[in-house]
Amino acid sequence: MSPIECKTEPLDSYPVTSLPEVTVEESRVESILQTEQSISSVYGTDYNIMDTPRTVTPINQTLMKSAAIGSQGWPDPLSITMATPAAQFDASELYEMSSPIIRGKPGLTFINGIEQNVNNDGFFNPPWNFNMVENFDLVEGPPGAIFGATQPSNGYVNYITKQTYFDKFRGNVWDTTGMYENYMWGADIGGPIEKGKLAYRASYMGINNRLYYQYVRNEQQNFYFALGYRPTENYQIDFYSDFGTADYTPIELLLNRPTQSLINNGLYLTGFLPPSEVTAGTENNPPANTYLKSELPISRRATVKYPADIGQATFAMSQVIQRIHVSDNLDIVNNTFFWYQDQTAIRFETYEANVFKGDYEIDNRTEIRTNFDSDFKNTKLTHFIDSGFEFRFQRTLDYQSEVYLGNSWDALTENPQLFNFLLSNNFANFGLYPIPGSPAGGFFIPLNDETNQTQFFRLSPFYQHQLELIEKKITFFIGTRLDSYFVHSQTPPGTPTFLFQSLNTKQLNPLVNAAIIYRPTSWTSLYFNYNWQYTTNASGGGGYSPIFPATAFHLLNQLIEGGVKLNLLRDKCYFAISGFSEDTFLGNIEFPSTPASFQGLEANITFQPDRHFWIRMGYLLEQGVEDWSGFPEGPEMAQTYSTNFAKIYGLPLNNNGTFPPEKYALIGWPDQVFSGMMTYKFDSGLGLTIGALVLSDQYLGYDYRTRIPLQFVMNSSIFYSSPKWETRFNIFNFTNQKY
């Protein structure tokens, strides 16, 4: 019996070694109770959530559909928060995020247990392909000894890709049509080739979407294929592959000049400079009162996006997972992962360019899993050890630049074809150089923290030991890992000779994690978790800048968390509450990484008495602090004062200034989040889901002058499902709140 099957009892057997299988039993598919789902994303093997000493949210297909996660072909900022209050997608980075912001910091991305590191803080990705996702776990806090982590984080997502069908043939086609020219379509087929031994799964998705916001698009093609082979009872191999292309609008900025009047009353401050005079900084930048005019009403759909912004990407993933069951006491698992992306994203209105030329990573992890029993002073001890070695090679060739001058454009009265910094006579003053082989208009800055040509190896032995005192109802987890980095980085081709820089370095980063669970009753878990590790800063594409100091390779990422989990009402209600403290670092472009700390309290409850009805609610209270006190300057912003302030006192817009070096409360993140979802489904197949979010106020700048007040947003979904087909009608923000 596995820990999943024995969900109400303390762990009394060894973890299983396979990925979650596709389940076809209707009652299991419709369950969204955390106790009904396996968790392999914390300790590498399947555990019940009651035996997992972490705050983690398993999200299956039922919950994905109910929260509308991926239903628009991109990670909209509301849907994932409906499922868990600790996560939000950044509306300004939607098309380049593979993981949400978790507890105030962008999360990491894992695919079937391997880190996808060709990114920076979960950003700089091609549009994410939810079509390849079967389900996923959202884990709060950094990874432990088995998974490891290259970059610091407050959490991560582990995507489990679509699995093969070994029992019978299945196939479906689907189509999604929505307002604002949203069109998605796809097909999915699979079944046994040789029953019980060989099976396949193939899936296709096409997207031709516009967005609620003007001048934003996403045209995407994705092809996914999986093959599973079980030649004997003791050996299995699974192959997963995905290939996609995208032609899209990189967002970064939607609407500029966020005055309090704009946020509260929808009034936009008009007026603009001739494009030839537009600049950033204070030099050659005239006072705002010489051209800013009156406030006028503006549509919430308006943007300052240049209609011809460039977003093009080709990406591919392959993965092979092998499992060998040697004996009842020994299993071997090998996981080999490959990720490739070639991407060009140029935003002319801010001027920012990110061009990744064929970045790729290869990762191989081999785990040896052993179990045995022992006695200590008449106490039976059960041991489960997972140890092994992981190897990673990554290559990046990345060009980056950013100027950020968006406040000079007028989204209401100016022709959007003029939102292009290349039209400015001041463009040549910013030290940019043409990107070799880039589309017209691609320029880069050689010596910032993002531009790089990097090759690095990471060698990582790891050891994890689970020790269970069955009679005492106590389980200990302890793990350790040592990441050895061998890095070569230099400025890329196209860099002038006099600016050439290179870096060769070897670094060691240790990791230690420990946890304890106490199960006083079959329905109660008390736990404490401690994670301590050193991680590295990252340039664009997950490489390293040749101007990184040694401190960039030793960023402390620490988690202290404790909590209580309750499985109530005979497995019908799950409740969890946890408190946490995290120390981490925030990535920067022109400055070293900034220390940051986060403390908070989170509570979640799920109640599902039967297959007709379920409800889940979550609450997060969190405060974050950025510590700039050890730097020569504080945080940088394109404009360090409000647009109204600039107009009143005759200051230039886009001053590209910095604040004093001190501690600052985290901006752009609410201190409190409440999320709730409720579904009722009739025997006829008709059902209704309603979701609600409440977000406390949040400031937009380190001057703490302009803030988004408390927000209340509601989504709904009406659906009908039968054994052969399903239809669903999603209504986002149906009360038309000012989100």
For the cut 70, the answer to whether the pLDDT of residue 9 exceeds it is no
> How many Cβ atoms sit within 10 Å of the Cβ of residue 13?
15
For the cut 70, the answer to whether the pLDDT of residue 442 exceeds it is yes
pLDDT tier for residue 122 given thresholds of 50, 70 and 90: confident
Helix (H, G, I), strand (E, B) or coil at 166: coil
pLDDT tier for residue 14 given thresholds of 50, 70 and 90: low
pLDDT tier for residue 566 given thresholds of 50, 70 and 90: very high
Q: Can you give the pLDDT at residue 7?
A: 40
Q: In percent, how much of the chain has pLDDT > 90?
A: 80
Tell me the per-residue pLDDT of 261-280, one tens digit each, with 9 for 90 and over. 999 999 999 999 999 999 98
pLDDT tier for residue 21 given thresholds of 50, 70 and 90: very low
- Residue pointed to by tokens 């979701």: 691
Judge residue 82's burial from the number of C-beta atoms within 10 Å of its C-beta, 0-12 exposed, 13-18 middle, 19 or more buried: buried
For the cut 70, the answer to whether the pLDDT of residue 5 exceeds it is no
Phi, psi of 407 (to 5 degrees): -70, -10
- Tokens standing for residue 292: 């800013």
The closest of 220, 46, 298, 42 to 147, measured between CA atoms, is: 42
- Tokens standing for residue 103: 């507890």
- Spatial neighbors of 467 by CB under 8 A, at least 6 apart, are 381, 382, 383, 475, 476, 478
CA angle 167-173-179, nearest 5°? Answer: 140
Q: Which residues pair with 221 in a beta bridge?
A: 206, 245
- Asked whether 704 and 642 are in contact (CB, 8 A), the reply is no
For the cut 50, the answer to whether the pLDDT of residue 573 exceeds it is yes
Tell me the per-residue pLDDT of 164-212, one tens digit each, with 9 for 90 and over. 999 999 999 999 999 999 999 999 999 999 989 999 999 999 999 988 8
For the cut 50, the answer to whether the pLDDT of residue 12 exceeds it is no
- Spatial neighbors of 376 by CB under 8 A, at least 6 apart, are none
> How many Cβ atoms sit within 10 Å of the Cβ of residue 731?
13
From residue 179, give the alpha-carbon distance in Å to each of 303, 583, 692, 717: 18, 42, 21, 15
Q: Can you give the pLDDT at residue 197?
A: 95
Helix (H, G, I), strand (E, B) or coil at 287: coil
| Averaged pLDDT of the chain | 92
Query: What DSSP string describes 358-403?
Result: EEEEEEEEEEEEEEEEEEETTEEEEEEEEEEEEEEEEEEEEEEEE-
Task: Give the Cα separation of 322 and 334 in Å (integer).
Answer: 5
Q: Per-residue pLDDT averaged across 306-322, rounded?
A: 96
Q: Can you give the pLDDT at residue 24?
A: 40
- What count of residues does the chain have? 739
For the cut 80, the answer to whether the pLDDT of residue 18 exceeds it is no
Tell me the per-residue pLDDT of 133-147, one tens digit each, with 9 for 90 and over. 999 999 999 999 999
Q: Per-residue pLDDT averaged across 14-35, rounded?
A: 58
For the cut 60, the answer to whether the pLDDT of residue 528 exceeds it is yes
| Model confidence, pTM | 0.94
For the cut 60, the answer to whether the pLDDT of residue 8 exceeds it is no
SS (H, E, C) 400-452: EEECCCHHHCCCCCCCHHHCCHHHCCCHHHHCCEECCCCCCCCEECCCCCCCE
CA angle 140-144-147, nearest 5°? Answer: 100
pLDDT tier for residue 155 given thresholds of 50, 70 and 90: very high
The closest of 675, 671, 706, 680 to 693, measured between CA atoms, is: 675
Task: Give the Cα separation of 438 and 375 in Å (integer).
Answer: 66
Task: Give the Cα separation of 251 and 236 in Å (integer).
Answer: 43
pLDDT tier for residue 90 given thresholds of 50, 70 and 90: confident
Tell me the per-residue pLDDT of 637-681, one tens digit each, with 9 for 90 and over. 888 998 889 999 999 998 989 999 999 999 989 999 999 999 999
Measure the N-to-C terminal CA separation of the chain; round to a whole number of Å: 48
Q: Which residues pair with 396 in a beta bridge?
A: 454
